[in-house]
Structure 1
Amino acid sequence: MITKEKPRMGMYENVKHQYEKAADLMNLTPAVRKILAITNNEIVVHFPVKMDDGSVEVFTGYRVQHNNALGPYKGGLRYHPTVDIDAARALATWMTWKTSLAGLPYGGGKGGIQLDPSKYSISELERITRRFTYALGDNIGPEHDIPAPDVNTTPQMMAWIADTYMSTKSTNERTKNAHVVTGKPVGAGGLEGRDRATGFGVVVSIKEWAKLKSYDLRGMRYIVQGFGNVGFWASHFMKQHGAILVGVQDASGTIYNADGIDPDQLIVYAQGNNHHISGFPQASEYPTSDFFALDCDIIIPAAMGNQITGENAETIKAMMIAEGANGPVDVEADSILFERNIDVIPDIYCNSGGVIGSYFEWLQNRNGELWQMDEVLTKLESKMGQSFKKLLNTANEFHTDWRTSAYIEAIRRIEQAYIQRGIFP
């Protein structure tokens, strides 16, 4: 079973450690270093919502805006019991690095509501989402802060946010605000292919790694933690390249089949099993605590943060870890994996397909265009290919690991913006 994130016990500390390591190595300008070490704004809202039975619950929502030197804040909203201010700080900071590394005109933001959405009806979730949007008010906006889906949030929820936000504007302004969120359903202004963009990007990063190492993905064995949007689509595209899925873990348990698990069959089963993989007839149950020690070539952690730690990093047999989730490998594990020559494709590059897809949707809405899926995926792959080359060049320049080089490349772009425009006043 997937362990919960523990933001008070390390996630934000991990982010700060990674930042300081990169800042030291690149000799970051002192003034910029101080600015990027803290968040710009931290919004906490408490709001009441009437439940289906007539009772009222008060929810706590968060939106942390880390930095906007390169453009509007950009980042997801998650609905999860672990959401708190530290988690939002960590995730917002990662978004700043992610958008910068991808070369997008965005900064970083993140937030959500501290709740378990499985405990609420669809109508209750709609009222919670709309009331949260209203509570945030002008703290979000299409040229200021642009939310997107994240853990346990959906395209439908993004449509509710867009509709609620636009409903607060004058008639003349409503049509200009559709790009206040991305990740909307296609019929509500969403982008063809946005649903698979993150998982597709994870596989693009794996292909870049395989090309660098002169490996053939056909026949490679891999395991996936988390079988939601990212985990499924990553598995779907890995299957197209001939890789073999042998193990999957989600909150309901762990399954294994040495001969392979068909991800397309598994998703159909999970959708009919309350989105749980447990009991899948074409695989066997497997001890949860031994998941990362499975015999495989590639691990794709696509669930929550702090899953690969100092406690289990020594047991890993894979050659490579592709971080589909944000912060799935903690600092201690990072050091162990580096010493063991296990490659880690860092999250701010590996799972950036989602925010790149969001950028395409934002442009589509802003310019009144309609993009086709083939065009979206082709542009996404090209952009991620460019980022991988930068990551490798920077790693060679500073003689460092890929995560630190990704941070340096991201931070340099922001540093340049501050140097060129100055610091107000």
Structure 2
Amino acid sequence: MTTATADLKKVTKKVPIIGMMDNVMEQFNSAADHINLHQSIRKILSITNNEILVNFPVKMDNGDVEIFTGYRVQHNNALGPYKGGLRYHPTVDIDAARALAMWMTWKTSLAGLPYGGGKGGIKIDPSKYSQSELERITRRFTFALADNIGPEHDIPAPDVNTNSQTMAWIADTYMSTRPPAERTANQHVVTGKPDASGGLEGRDRATGYGVYLSIKFWADKSNTSLDGKKFIVQGFGNVGYWAAHFLEKEGAKLVAVQDATGSIQNQNGISVEDLFKYSQINDGSIVNFPDSKTVDTKKFFTLDCDICIPAALGNQITKENAHQIKARLIAEGANGPTNVEGEKILLERGITIIPDILCNSGGVVGSYFEWLQNRNGEIWQLDEVMAKLDKKMKESFNKVFDYAINETVDLRTAAFCIAIQRIEKAYIQRGIFP
């Protein structure tokens, strides 16, 4: 299993995505109240623009036909084309897609990108299907979406259980349905593609690198060093692995990791690279890693550490476990890992949360770079990509940090306020048609 697909099993599958729409709406309304958002614009941003549901048949390897349900929710495009991932997971449904699409709107706005927000996927457990079946499912889903996606309209990207190969299949299928003269001009219909298919060098590590940068910027603002800091990671796929990789280079110490197969710890430190190599030859599993001991999954967030990185699915930190967390910093590598009730407890305890729409935005920034690269017919080198990502993330972090200080609010409220105000300004300047 590659790092691009390692998030397949890096979550506790028994925890469904429940209440995510309630969470995102409470977060939105709290920020909207703080900035006194215009009521008309509040109404617009409270709902999605489009919700696409498709049921499509696919022939399996044994000749049987199965029917799959796919979703694509397009929340808002006031700032540009819809942008957001496609995930393959049993918990995918319309409510989850709505919440994730709204988060993408705030995330792209906060990052200063010319995008709106979208999200979607297929309700499926990909581990139950062969590679050839997944290819046919992906291509048929792309065909079913038809003109609901496009390089200047809605640009999907990888998410949970999808990867660069998935994006290559989508791009090829989409381009094959275009007139011959337009096919190569539509390569940027998706981002997160393999390097040889128009992908961006370094896109695989962009999200995790962004998580690391957010933590580093927080440490700088707090006049503290990451050297010797203990951190734990939930999810050891692209996001968790790369965040841990860069943190370890700063001298921080990985002391515990959790995935769907179990939880391990070693307070003396776990080698990130050794664990990565171990997982590669063990079907992505971290269980029984040498020089580590097994931890009760329910007690993972109670482990002693300075920094906690939830990099799996949503609703992992709740009122049931928030009071037990020992970390002083939560860096949200996943989308919506902390629900509203859990967050209130953490803030009351003085624990800092770097919100998902800021912390994990390195991925969509990297996607923007890939989109530009394809659009302009360019090829960017890795050092150039990383330098641009560093600059973009620092600009966003400083804006959020300064706003939080000046307005005396937490970082999530600050991030939401900045993001929503940018969209509000666009509506005020453009007006509402007709």
TM-score by length of 2: 0.97
- What secondary structure, in the 3-state scheme, does the structure 2 residue paired with 1:157 have? helix
Would you say 1:21 and 2:30 are equivalent positions? yes
Amino acid aligned to 2:75? H
2:16 matches 1:2 = no
User: Offset of 1:2 from its aligned partner?
Assistant: 2.3
Q: 1:346 aligns with which of 352, 355, 363?
A: 355
1:30 aligns with 2:39: yes
Q: Which moved more, 1:244-253 or 1:263-272?
A: 263-272
Q: CA deviation at 1:180?
A: 0.0
Conservation of the 8 A alpha-carbon contact between 1:298 and 1:322: yes
Give the corresponding residue for 1:312: 321
**Distance apart, 1:6 and its partner CA:** 3.2
Give the equivalent residue in structure 2 for 1:80: 89
Q: Judge conservation of contact 1:323–1:350 (CA < 8 Å) in 2.
A: yes
Q: Is this contact kept in 2: 1:4–1:304, CA < 8 A?
A: no
Question: Separation in 1 of the partners of 2:127 and 2:290?
Answer: 24
Give the corresponding residue for 1:201: 210
Match of 1:396 in 2: 405
Q: Report deviation, 1:276.
A: 1.2
**Contact 1:3–1:307 (Cα < 8 Å) also in 2:** no
Matched with 1:246 is 255
CA distance in 2, matches of 1:184, 1:42: 25
- Alignment of 1:43 with 2:60, yes or no, is no
Q: What secondary structure is seen at the aligned counterpart in 2 of 1:217?
A: coil
Task: Report the alpha carbon displacement of residue 87 of structure 1 after superposing the two structures with TM.
Answer: 0.4
* Residues 366-398 of structure 1: per-residue CA shift (max 9 Å, x gap): 000000111111111111110111102221333
Residue aligning to 1:99: 108
1:332 paired with 2:341, answer: yes
- Which residue is equivalent to 2:6? none
Q: Could you tell me how far 1:28 is from its partner in structure 2?
A: 0.2
SS of 2:61's partner is coil
- 8 Å CA contact 1:40–1:67 kept in 2: the answer is yes
Q: CA deviation at 1:5?
A: 4.6
Q: Distance in 1 between matches of 2:273 and 2:162?
A: 22
Aligned with 2:308: secondary structure? Answer: strand
Q: What is the CA deviation profile of residues 131-150 of structure 1, one whole-angstrom value per residue up to 9, with x for unaligned ones?
A: 00000000000000000000
Q: C-alpha distance in 1, partners of 2:13/2:145?
A: 30
Deviations 1:228-284 (A, max 9, x none): 110111111111111100000000000001111111111111111111111212311
Aligned to 1:235: 244
Partners of 1:373 and 1:262 lie apart in 2 by 25
SS in 2 for 1:190: coil
Cα distance between partner residues in 2 of 1:157 and 1:233? 20
Distance in 2 separating the partners of 1:117 and 1:270: 19
C-alpha distance in 2 between matches for 1:325 and 1:414: 24
Rounded to whole Å, the distance in 2 between the matches of 1:40 and 1:236 is: 39
Mapped partners of 1:129, 1:208: distance in 2: 38
Measured in 1, the distance between the counterparts of 2:397 and 2:161 equals: 29
**Runs of 4+ residues over 2 Å off in structure 1:** 1-7
CA distances 1:189-234 after superposition (whole Å, capped 9, x unpaired): 0000000000000000000100011111011000000011101111
2:387 to 378, 399, 415: 378
Q: CA RMSD in A?
A: 0.8
Question: 1:216 maps to what in 2?
Answer: 225
Matching residue's letter, 1:243: A
SS of 1:409's equivalent in the other structure is: helix
Alignment match, 1:299: 308
2:414 to 398, 405, 412: 405
**2:65 aligned with 1:56:** yes
Q: Does 1:188 align with 2:180?
A: no
The counterpart of 1:126, out of the listed 131, 135, 148, is 135
Partner Cα separation in structure 1 for residue 379 and residue 398 of structure 2: 30
State the Cα deviation string for residues 282-329 of structure 1 (Å, max 9, x = none). 311111111001000000000010000001011111110000000000
| 1:410–1:321 distance in 2 versus 1, CA, 3 Å | same
Give the Cα separation in 1 of the matches to 2:14 and 2:244: 23
Residue aligned with 2:183, SS: helix
Letter matched to residue 373 of structure 2: Q
1:64–1:111 contact (8 Å) kept in structure 2: yes
| TM, length-normalised to structure 1 | 0.99
State which drifts further: 63-72 or 257-266. Answer: 257-266
1:4 Cα shift? 4.3
Which of 275-284 and 374-383 deviates more?
275-284
